[in-house]
Structure 1
Amino acid sequence: MTEDIKWWQKAVVYQVYPRSFQDANGDGIGDLQGIEQRLDYIEKLGADVIWLNPVYASPDKDNGYDISDYEDINAKFGTMVDFDRLLSKAHAKGIKILMDLVVNHTSDQHQWFIESRSSKDNDKRDFYIWRDPVAGHEPNNWGSFFSGPAWKYDERTGQYYLHLFVDEQPDLNWANPEVRQSVFDMMNFWVDKGIDGFRMDVISLISKPNGLPDGDVPAGGDYGNADKAVANGPHVHAYLQEMRQKVLNRADMMTVGEASGVDINNAIKYADKNASELNMVFQFEHMGLDNNPNSALGKWYDKKVSLLDLKENLSKWQNKLAGKAWNSLYWDNHDQPRAVSRYGDDRPEYRVVSAKMVATLLHFMQGTPYIYQGEEIGMTNAYNLERSDFDDIEIKNAFKYLVDKDHLIDDETMLSYVHAKGRDNARTPMQWDETKNAGFTTNTPWLKLNDNYQDINVKQALADEHSIFYYYQKLIQLRHEMPIITTGEYQLLDAEDDQVYAYRRLGDGEQLLIINNFTNQKLTRHFDVPSQATMLIGNYDDDQGDRLRPYESKVYYF
């Protein structure tokens, strides 16, 4: 089996959110030269791939996910010369570059849309999804992912255009072959530059359902659920197979699709090992386990996930994709809160040990692990940010619609939910050292810093041989060296234990036993560990056998 392993199956990806990583020119915004300055750090960690969040030209209505020119660089981040140099220097270190591909929608300032909205008979009109009003209002009841309606009325032509995200992000009409070819031509521009793959933003939404039917309205909500209505549409697999033929087969590319609304069966279609579409998908089921029971509030909540629910879900994906498709493994990213705050315990006495536990649980599973910048030093949610500090459009719209307009929740409770689940938790600047602005910039940062940067930073982590950083470094090293982590069978132990998450990885005559205490309690659990077993890694200095200390994690090999 080992000879069939692809490079991206043994790889570990490090996600860089450029505007928050390192500012090299002193304008308060991270940039490409800043990433270049920190390549040695990523190399030291051991990551194989850098996933770059969008660096394309953009008006930044949604932090770069509204693209006005796919073949140019956002001036805030630098120039194409800067990009080419970053790509070259990364490759010289053996690090690959994964670009963020955002093609469900463009910016309303993209030339295609400027032409499209100019008149009903323009050649680009059908590049986007335009509809006449129905009874004087929107063509259907879909709500935007960022609150409010998913349709915007255009006075000039008397029609609505679809935007599943913010108003300034009109959805492309993938049913138009000219749109698809234009996208493929653009992708090939980047392939020809020598990039190593694509992370595909909301790729499961590109094929809209026939007739654009209304979505189900959640209790207490104003709009229909567009995600359920649109996800995994009728032609999405055909479109991706066409992409495979016209773009992806031209090089040895890594591809991961962000697949909102995907289930096991759809994931197998997207990421089937026959490689007709993508290598893997980001699925969101485990991200929704701690959503609010009041469905109108969606993700906004501050209660911890049930370990039983988490075990059931992660185990399902491990077992049902095995031998059929490939898993992506992640706890956090630019759209999710910090892993140690959400799944561990970010109080000072538990932060380091629980961050290591959370990492251990994920990194011994089958799939490709993704580390989000700062995760490897245990950066936490930013509880010091107030309503006026937030930059994220999703957070702003949540306050606007859920608090101010619909009064579904009060301001104080909403703030506590944002502190738990808001996207700006992950977007605060990278904490490099204890100096002013955490070594991120010499200017005022574009987003307020987390106020714990003097205690949690890269300089401190690199100086401490027992830090979270070196623990992640060891996890990556083990994945590179031990084929069983890539190929072994997954077997959950004690499915009903709501305090300890233990599982095995089974290889040919060898096993791994992974034990994780998910609580701050001292527990006793017995596992059959042979006398000849070796403890590969653990987050305490010694092994006390059946006794598990708070958030203790350990891995045996035998």
Structure 2
Amino acid sequence: MAVEAWPRCPVIYEIYPRSFMDTTGSGAGDLKGILERLDHVIDLGVDAIWIAPFYPSPLVDGGYDVADHSGVSPQMGDLDDVRRIIEAAHKAGLRVMTDQVLNHTSDRNPWFEWSANREEGYEDWYVWRDAKPDGTPPNNWMSYFGPPAWTWDHRREQYYWHQFLSSQPNLNLRNPKVQDALKAQMRFWRNLGIDGFRMDAISAYLCDESFADNPVAAPDVAARVAGPSFSPYSRQDHKYDLLPGDGARFCENVRAWAGKDAYLLGEINVGNNAVQVANTFTEPGRLDTSYTIDFAERGFTPDVIADVLRSMAHTEPGHGGRVTMWLSSHDQARHVSAHGDGSAHDAKFLALACGCLPGPWLIYQGEELGLPQPDLSRDETTDPFDLRFWPDGPGREGPRVPMPWTEDEGTHGFTTGTPWLPMRWHRGSSVAAQSKSPVSVLAFYKSLLRLRRKHRFPDGRIEAVEVEGDLLSLVTSCESGRFLARMNFAQEGRATKPADGSLLLASADAVSGDHLPARSAGLWHL
């Protein structure tokens, strides 16, 4: 059963399957768990779900090290489970997206084994290079996770390139046979009923075939390179190992493979002029939308938000839904702690501040509960990025702590076994508890999502963006009229110019047309 065409600026709910719901007692979530808890997402009022990888994987990088792009991990379920999720979602008018990891595979993928052994037809499915005469790697490229981006394989007596972990070799996307294989697996999921794809690391697809050394990053460039400043990755200007211009053109292939009606969301994981790069990836015939790391790495502040919005509007009137807003994901520390104090007050403020911005919106599971970033010890942590820079890593494991469905201590209704990560959620944080409260974070998200769906104010044109210290004011116009959003990021209240309109939603009780309490926001229909 097909659903209606995608809205211009959908709200997409990310599900990280290992941490959503476990139905087997294994301690890790599965596809049947998604189906069992799908009503929660439907009741929330989003337009689509994005299911993070459930493919066969050694799980070195949380499932993004894919061993079979067209399979289902036996620990997660099987293809019939995927079909049931699609059927139930479509029946409720919910669209379904899955991850497409085209940049790399697991080193356990048969393709890599065949290429490493130079089997006929697979010799150049990955990026292989000879060593320098002294045996050192071909150039100075660094991986995003810190170590050199080249690993020696004794079978070929060559180095292979990996932008991420050494267990994630990069595919040679310039190889027509590789392109045919990726096209086939994308068509496989579309034929199964998938409505769209989130394209992992899409701005990292292609490298310069000269394989020249990257230059040293000038201070202004280093400040914008993706990743933590203490990683050696940030010391380079990634001039040759990242070619977003070529990657943007490659999106035309991705569009052709997915089909005109598939919704394509791309992850832009470059730091330099990221929104401008995103604009090129979403030109006609490419992606529908993409999201950048500006808020996660530069901060969610009035100045950064204004800069992103003005960059969005730079190439066209309005924005066209081409840049997606988000604050949390499986890869970033939960935003209520990263950009706030972990309280329900800040959870509501940040939800309204992000949810009223123009463009599509990504919501990560548990965000609607205002979940803070959990504290994990080194012994409890499994993520390689967090462990490499412990205790100063990006905190990728924290947002993967499983969802609290009930108030049951220890497992919170997620599993009958031992959760794969410890669950120490505070009382009142669960879905069960918040569903009973009209003033909970969950109730606030539902109110905000109803307003978005009714008025579609994020679809509109940006009329004005004003920053006055810690106060951000935004005026947009759409078919439903004109809307004013005000956000006070300061730790104290402040008076504002009177708002000439009706207050639709406020993150705090004392918000009025001429006053915003500390860390609060309001949305008016002018």
Whole-angstrom distance in 2 between the partners of 1:318 and 1:374? 31
Q: CA deviation at 1:307?
A: 3.9
Q: Residue 303 of structure 2 is aligned with which of 284, 308, 325?
A: 308
- State the one-letter code of the partner of 1:426: P
Query: Residue 443 of structure 1 corresponds to which residue in structure 2?
Result: 417
Q: TM-score under structure 1 normalisation?
A: 0.86
Query: Residue 210 of structure 1 corresponds to which residue in structure 2?
Result: 209
Query: Residue 498 of structure 2 corresponds to which residue in structure 1?
Result: 528
- State the one-letter code of the partner of 1:37: E
Q: CA deviation at 1:7?
A: 2.3
Q: 1:229 is paired with a residue of what secondary structure?
A: coil
Q: Deviations over 1:449-503 (max 9, x none)?
A: 2x2342311112111111111211121111111144312324112x2x2322221
Whole-angstrom distance in 2 between the partners of 1:11 and 1:112? 36
- Within a 5 Å distance, the mapping from 1:431-510 to structure 2 comes to 431-436=404-409, 437-449=411-423, 451-493=424-466, 495=467, 497-507=468-478, 510=481
The answer (yes or no) to whether the contact 2:360–2:458 under 8 Å persists in 1 is no
Whole-angstrom distance in 1 between the partners of 2:486 and 2:318? 24
Q: Could you say if the C-alpha distance between residues 543 and 397 of structure 1 is closer, same or farther in structure 2, counting changes exceeding 3 Å? A: closer
Query: Residue 423 of structure 1 corresponds to which residue in structure 2?
Result: 396
Query: Residue 300 of structure 1 corresponds to which residue in structure 2?
Result: none
Alignment of 1:551 with 2:525, yes or no, is: no
- Within a 5 Å distance, the mapping from 1:96-175 to structure 2 comes to 96-119=95-118, 122-134=120-132, 135-175=134-174
Q: Could you say if the C-alpha distance between residues 315 and 353 of structure 1 is closer, same or farther in structure 2, counting changes exceeding 3 Å? A: farther
Consecutive unaligned residues of structure 2, counting only runs of 5 or more, are 223-229
Q: Could you say if the C-alpha distance between residues 18 and 146 of structure 1 is closer, same or farther in structure 2, counting changes exceeding 3 Å? A: same
Q: CA deviation at 1:322?
A: 4.3
Whole-angstrom distance in 2 between the partners of 1:547 and 1:477? 25
- Within a 5 Å distance, the mapping from 1:252-331 to structure 2 comes to 252-261=261-270, 263-272=274-283, 274=284, 276-290=285-299, 307-318=302-313, 320=315, 322-323=317-318, 325=320, 326-331=322-327
Query: Residue 369 of structure 2 corresponds to which residue in structure 1?
Result: 377
The answer (yes or no) to whether the contact 1:48–1:96 under 8 Å persists in 2 is yes
- State the one-letter code of the partner of 2:473: A
The answer (yes or no) to whether the contact 2:128–2:160 under 8 Å persists in 1 is yes
Query: Residue 512 of structure 1 corresponds to which residue in structure 2?
Result: 483
- State the one-letter code of the partner of 1:243: V
How many residue pairs match? The answer is: 506
Q: CA deviation at 1:556?
A: 1.2
Q: Residue 338 of structure 1 is aligned with which of 316, 334, 337?
A: 334
Q: CA deviation at 1:544?
A: 4.0
Q: Deviations over 1:109-168 (max 9, x none)?
A: 11111100013x632110000011013111111111112111110112210001111111
Q: Deviations over 1:345-393 (max 9, x none)?
A: 21xxxx122111111111122111110000001000113x112211111
Q: Could you say if the C-alpha distance between residues 555 and 246 of structure 1 is closer, same or farther in structure 2, counting changes exceeding 3 Å? A: closer
Q: Could you say if the C-alpha distance between residues 221 and 319 of structure 1 is closer, same or farther in structure 2, counting changes exceeding 3 Å? A: closer
Consecutive unaligned residues of structure 1, counting only runs of 5 or more, are 291-304, 400-414
Q: CA deviation at 1:192?
A: 0.6
Alignment of 1:398 with 2:396, yes or no, is: no
Identity among equivalent positions (%) equals 31
Q: Residue 353 of structure 1 is aligned with which of 333, 336, 345?
A: 345
Query: Residue 41 of structure 2 corresponds to which residue in structure 1?
Result: 42
Q: 2:389 is paired with a residue of what secondary structure?
A: helix
Q: 1:426 is paired with a residue of what secondary structure?
A: helix
Q: CA deviation at 1:227?
A: 4.9
More helix by share: 1
Q: CA deviation at 1:315?
A: 4.0
Whole-angstrom distance in 1 between the partners of 2:513 and 2:156? 72
Q: 1:511 is paired with a residue of what secondary structure?
A: strand
Whole-angstrom distance in 2 between the partners of 1:246 and 1:507? 33
Whole-angstrom distance in 1 between the partners of 2:345 and 2:117? 58
Q: Could you say if the C-alpha distance between residues 362 and 222 of structure 1 is closer, same or farther in structure 2, counting changes exceeding 3 Å? A: closer
Whole-angstrom distance in 2 between the partners of 1:153 and 1:368? 42
Of the structure 1 ranges 136-145 and 212-221, higher mean CA displacement relative to structure 2 is found in: 212-221
Whole-angstrom distance in 2 between the partners of 1:323 and 1:231? 29
Q: Could you say if the C-alpha distance between residues 217 and 75 of structure 1 is closer, same or farther in structure 2, counting changes exceeding 3 Å? A: farther
Of the structure 1 ranges 40-49 and 352-361, higher mean CA displacement relative to structure 2 is found in: 352-361
Structure 1 runs of 4+ with >6 Å offset: none
Q: Could you say if the C-alpha distance between residues 72 and 231 of structure 1 is closer, same or farther in structure 2, counting changes exceeding 3 Å? A: same
Whole-angstrom distance in 2 between the partners of 1:502 and 1:222? 38
The answer (yes or no) to whether the contact 1:268–1:324 under 8 Å persists in 2 is no
Whole-angstrom distance in 1 between the partners of 2:258 and 2:44? 31
Whole-angstrom distance in 1 between the partners of 2:107 and 2:475? 50
The answer (yes or no) to whether the contact 2:248–2:286 under 8 Å persists in 1 is yes
Q: Deviations over 1:258-292 (max 9, x none)?
A: 122263443222112x3x111011112332215xx
Q: TM-score under structure 2 normalisation?
A: 0.91
The answer (yes or no) to whether the contact 1:142–1:226 under 8 Å persists in 2 is no
Whole-angstrom distance in 2 between the partners of 1:227 and 1:18? 33
Q: Could you say if the C-alpha distance between residues 195 and 60 of structure 1 is closer, same or farther in structure 2, counting changes exceeding 3 Å? A: same
Q: 2:256 is paired with a residue of what secondary structure?
A: helix
Whole-angstrom distance in 2 between the partners of 1:318 and 1:471? 29
Q: 1:30 is paired with a residue of what secondary structure?
A: coil
Of the structure 1 ranges 253-262 and 93-102, higher mean CA displacement relative to structure 2 is found in: 253-262
Q: 1:277 is paired with a residue of what secondary structure?
A: coil
